[in-house]
Amino acid sequence: MTNTFPIVKTSLPAETPVSTQGGPQQQAKRGRKRDRFADPLFNTVAIGTLLLAILVIIYPMYFIVIASFSEPSEILNGNVWLWPAGFTIEGYTRIFSDSTILQGFANSILYTTVGTAISVATILCAAYALSRKDLYGRTFFMLLFIITMFIDGGLIARYLVVRDLGMLDSIWAVVLPGAVGVWNLIIARAFFENNVPGELRDAAQMDGASDFRFFFSVVLPLSKPLIFLMIMIHLVANWNAFFDALIFLNDENKYPLQLVLRNVLIQSEVTAAGGAGALDSYAAAQRLGELIKYGMIVLSTIPLLIVLPFMQKHFTKGALLGAVKS
């Protein structure tokens, strides 16, 4: 007897063709590139809009610079567009001939440094304390801060408080009254609540870390975007501030740069009105006043333009705090 076995035909799977288009990462990269250039019209409009916005922002700054080296009559006649017309440095010569300019620079640097340090340190400490859920009465304390955003005692009340505290005509009258910005405090508190979990603090306590050690060794290193954001905000605010100095300071040797430059401009106008000094006419005084005005804007802006670009990366990260909740 012959045993017959059925012949089973098996089909081997066809070989998977090897892709010559690269791996998954390369394909994904090419896909993103195709998506990026999928709509040329949208890209054209978006790029054009951004370039126009950049031009609108940069050109006024550039115009101030070239105007400070141009004759005011050429500016009034509309002859100053891209290059200085009637080149002159008389405005800068008049500004730097005043010995109080350098003193004003030094005072502004001092007020800005001390004021920024006090503001940032105060806001970070207060915001972290208010973000702790185990802080007794934190809602009440936060309410006290928020009330100050809607109710203000006014200039007279502020002056009386500064006088009674013995801070008149001192650096503290400039840096302390506005040291804590409630809006910045709210931003910092939200950052700590969303980015510093309670489990991390519990783990640190199990390792024997105190609250101060946890704050300085763990919380602050995790809060670099917030810290740089607070520094930049208060740098700009303290550098441009002059109203508190105008109200609380009497000694001209303590005036910040902005107040010094303001006085230089006023003195030029007064000299012109009185017909005294080296100016021959009121028109000449007005001309010099215009040059001083443009020069003051340039001088007061240069320090910020030097410092802020180095912090731009951190500022961009900090400006998005709270935009996406982790």
- Same domain? For 39 and 172 the reply is no
Q: How confident is the model at residue 317 (pLDDT cuts 50, 70, 90)?
A: low
- Same domain? For 134 and 253 the reply is yes
Which pLDDT score, from 0 to 100, does residue 128 have? 92
Which pLDDT score, from 0 to 100, does residue 9 have? 47
- Same domain? For 67 and 151 the reply is no
- Within a domain: 226: yes
- Same domain? For 48 and 127 the reply is no
Report the CATH number that the domain containing residue 162 is assigned in CATH: 1.10.3720.10
- pLDDT, greater one: 263 or 35: 263
**Torsion of Cα atoms, 216 then 219 then 221 then 222, to 10°:** 180
- Same domain? For 45 and 110 the reply is no
- Within a domain: 45: yes
If one counts the domains in the chain, the total is 2
- Same domain? For 123 and 80 the reply is no
Range of the domain at 41: 28-88
- Within a domain: 15: no
Average pLDDT of the residues in 37-48: 80
Residue 285 near residue 264, CB atoms below 8 Å: no
- Same domain? For 189 and 276 the reply is yes
Q: How far apart are CA 137 and CA 216, in angstroms?
A: 24
Q: Model's pTM, two decimal places?
A: 0.72
Q: Summarize pLDDT for 229-265 with one digit per residue, the tens.
A: 899 889 988 998 888 888 999 888 899 988 887 887 7
Which pLDDT score, from 0 to 100, does residue 80 have? 83
Alpha helices, DSSP H, located in 136-179:
138-150, 155-164, 172-175
Average pLDDT, the chain: 80
Which pLDDT score, from 0 to 100, does residue 326 have? 44
Residue where one domain finishes, among candidates 71, 88, 105:
88
- Same domain? For 145 and 190 the reply is yes
Residue 250 near residue 163, CB atoms below 8 Å: no
Task: For residue 323, give the nearest of 221, 191, 132 by alpha carbon.
Answer: 191
Q: CB under 8 Å to 71, separation ≥6 — which residues?
A: 85, 86, 88, 287
Q: Give the pair of three-digit tokens for residue 300.
A: 């007061």
